[in-house]
């Protein structure tokens, strides 16, 4: 009997990469992808799986308990992995409400049904942002205190506490993974890397917050997927696992790395230092993140494989080869969000 994995939020960036990762590696599983297809969800990410008999898609919102209950009853999943969330810090500053609904109340629904249906393991996909901001030194371990600073990270920290409460109170076999910043194919262009590529292709200035010296710790999405796979297979119930690849870079370093890769791959693009424009800083902008992945490395034998220089190059290549995908996700809603968030008009002409 194949194992059934309910992946929530599987039409988004990491979820769709994870579904591909699982189905590429295992013949004896089936995947139920439950996603409400918000602005960030896109079935084109999974178009190649439409005819795969091991893959099912259900459009549903994790906040709709009766709808979710029907799915649990119909498919009787063995595992639940929750990627579904509002995921963009800037949007949480503009409108926190939906972050509380999807990222907290939605998780409560998943936990309750996982318990009712005696799920073998529930994994809550969390983020390093729950730990807040670091100074010039130090790293986040699983024992670092929770200190979220944005409505987004506060909602994720709340969900983490709720998830642990289900372990301690009800013995629900849960895990939490807290990963650093991901990059790779199918990432919505509100996030730094696809946003930079998009603006370079459009000949528009690349907006960089503040002084550009905020530090993020980057990991290729495939490495994140392999870490989740290890936790799914061998994670100890109730444990939290930090996931990171120890690639700290300032935002400006990342933007310049992308510009360099683009100059090599598309020498026709008019890219110079003037391509960057510094814009007023994000409110409460965390200065530095850095993940210590020692626990998952030592206890589950996981390690990241993709060197960041190679990963960025292949990612830039992917977006260049998938300009249609990029174009398809830029709609009126995105353009409105963009102009409100950056307080600069940007028509983003067609590529």
Ligand X SMILES: NC(=O)c1ccc[n+]([C@@H]2O[C@H](COP(=O)([O-])OP(=O)(O)OC[C@H]3O[C@@H](n4cnc5c(N)ncnc54)[C@H](O)[C@@H]3O)[C@@H](O)[C@H]2O)c1
Binding part of the chain for ligand X, among 84-92, 269-277, 310-318, 338-346 by CB under 6 A, reads 84-92
Under the binding rule (CB under 6 A), the answer on residue 231 touching ligand X is no
Query: Among candidates 178, 150, 149, which has minimal Cα distance to 163?
Result: 178
Q: Name the token pair of 318.
A: 């992917």
Of 271 and 286, the one with the shorter C-beta distance to ligand X is: 286
Binding part of the chain for ligand X, among 8-16, 257-265, 273-281, 327-335 by CB under 6 A, reads 8-16
Q: Nearest residue by C-beta to ligand X?
A: 12
In degrees and rounded to multiples of 5, residue 100 shows phi and psi of -70, -40
Residues 36, 11 contacting (CB under 8 angstroms):
no
For residue 140, the cross-strand partners are: 291
Q: Which of 152, 167, 241, 289 is catalytic?
A: 152
Binding part of the chain for ligand X, among 30-38, 132-140, 233-241, 342-350 by CB under 6 A, reads 30-38
Under the binding rule (CB under 6 A), the answer on residue 179 touching ligand X is yes
Under the binding rule (CB under 6 A), the answer on residue 148 touching ligand X is no
Classify strands 79-82 and 3-8 as parallel, antiparallel or unpaired: parallel
Least separation in angstroms between CB 115 and ligand X: 19
Q: Which of 36, 60, 128, 223 is catalytic?
A: 128
Query: How many CA atoms does the CB half-sphere of 288 hold within 13 Å?
Result: 14
Q: Name the token pair of 278.
A: 């510094």
Number of amino acids touching ligand X (CB under 6 A)? 29
Q: DSSP letter at 105?
A: I
In angstroms, rounded to a whole number, what is the distance separating the alpha carbons of residues 138 and 129?
Answer: 15
Under the binding rule (CB under 6 A), the answer on residue 185 touching ligand X is no
Least separation in angstroms between CB 31 and ligand X: 14
Under the binding rule (CB under 6 A), the answer on residue 87 touching ligand X is yes
Under the binding rule (CB under 6 A), the answer on residue 109 touching ligand X is no
Contacting residue, 6, 14, 176, 206, with ligand X by CB under 6 A? 14
Strands (DSSP E) contained in 192-297 are: 206-209, 215-220, 240-243, 248-250, 276-279
Binding part of the chain for ligand X, among 59-67, 138-146, 163-171, 247-255 by CB under 6 A, reads 59-67
Least separation in angstroms between CB 108 and ligand X: 12
129 given a catalytic annotation: yes
Ramachandran sector of residue 198 (left: φ over 0; alpha: ψ -120 to 50; beta: rest): alpha
In angstroms, rounded to a whole number, what is the distance separating the alpha carbons of residues 284 and 203?
Answer: 30
Q: Which residues of 177-191 are buried (b: 16+ CB within 10 A; e: fewer)?
A: bbbbbbbbbbbbbbb
Contacting residue, 6, 7, 15, 254, with ligand X by CB under 6 A? 15
Largest CA distance in the chain: 60
Least separation in angstroms between CB 6 and ligand X: 12
- 22-25 — which CB contacts under 8 Å span 24+ positions? 22/229, 23/49, 23/52, 23/54, 23/55, 25/229
Least separation in angstroms between CB 124 and ligand X: 8
Binding part of the chain for ligand X, among 24-32, 56-64, 109-117, 288-296 by CB under 6 A, reads 56-64
Least separation in angstroms between CB 56 and ligand X: 15
Query: Among candidates 170, 155, 179, which has minimal Cα distance to 113?
Result: 170
Of 37 and 330, the one with the shorter C-beta distance to ligand X is: 37
Under the binding rule (CB under 6 A), the answer on residue 216 touching ligand X is no
Q: Report the catalytic residues.
A: 128-129, 152
Interface residues with ligand X (CB under 6 A) are 9, 11-15, 35-38, 40-41, 61-63, 83-87, 102, 106, 125, 127, 156, 179, 181-182, 188
């Amino acid at each position: 009997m194949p194992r059934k994995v309910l992946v929530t939020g599987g039409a988004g960036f990491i979820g769709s990469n994870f579904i591909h990762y699982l189905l590429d590696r295992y013949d004896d599983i089936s995947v139920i992808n439950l996603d409400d297809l918000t602005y960030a969800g896109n079935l084109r990410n999974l178009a190649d799986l439409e005819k795969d008999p091991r893959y099912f898609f259900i459009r549903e919102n994790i906040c709709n308990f009766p709808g979710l209950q029907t799915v649990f009853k119909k498919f009787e999943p063995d595992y639940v992995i929750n990627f579904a969330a509002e995921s963009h810090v800037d949007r949480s500053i503009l409108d926190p409400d939906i972050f509380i609904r999807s990222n907290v109340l939605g998780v409560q629904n998943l936990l309750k049904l996982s318990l009712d249906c005696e799920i073998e393991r529930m994994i809550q996909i969390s983020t390093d942002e729950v730990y807040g901001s670091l100074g010039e030194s130090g790293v986040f371990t699983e024992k670092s205190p929770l200190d979220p600073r944005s409505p987004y990270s506060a909602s994720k920290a709340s969900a983490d506490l709720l998830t642990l409460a289900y372990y301690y109170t009800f013995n629900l076999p849960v895990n939490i993974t807290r990963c650093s910043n991901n990059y790779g194919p199918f990432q919505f262009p509100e996030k730094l890397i696809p946003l930079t590529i998009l603006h370079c292709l459009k000949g528009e200035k690349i907006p960089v917050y503040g002084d550009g010296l905020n530090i993020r710790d980057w990991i290729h999405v495939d490495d994140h997927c392999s870490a989740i796979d290890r936790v799914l297979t061998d994670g100890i119930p109730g444990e939290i696992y930090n996931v990171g690849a120890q690639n700290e870079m300032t935002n400006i370093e990342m933007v310049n790395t992308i510009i360099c890769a683009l100059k090599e791959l598309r020498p026709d693009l008019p890219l110079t230092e003037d391509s960057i424009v510094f814009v007023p800083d994000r409110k409460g902008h965390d200065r530095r993140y850095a993940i210590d992945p020692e626990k998952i490395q030592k206890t589950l034998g996981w390690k990241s494989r993709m060197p960041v220089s190679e990963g960025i190059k292949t990612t830039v290549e992917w977006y260049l080869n998938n300009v249609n995908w990029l174009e398809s996700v830029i709609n009126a809603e995105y353009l409105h969000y963009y102009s409100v968030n950056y307080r600069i008009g940007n028509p983003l002409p067609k590529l």
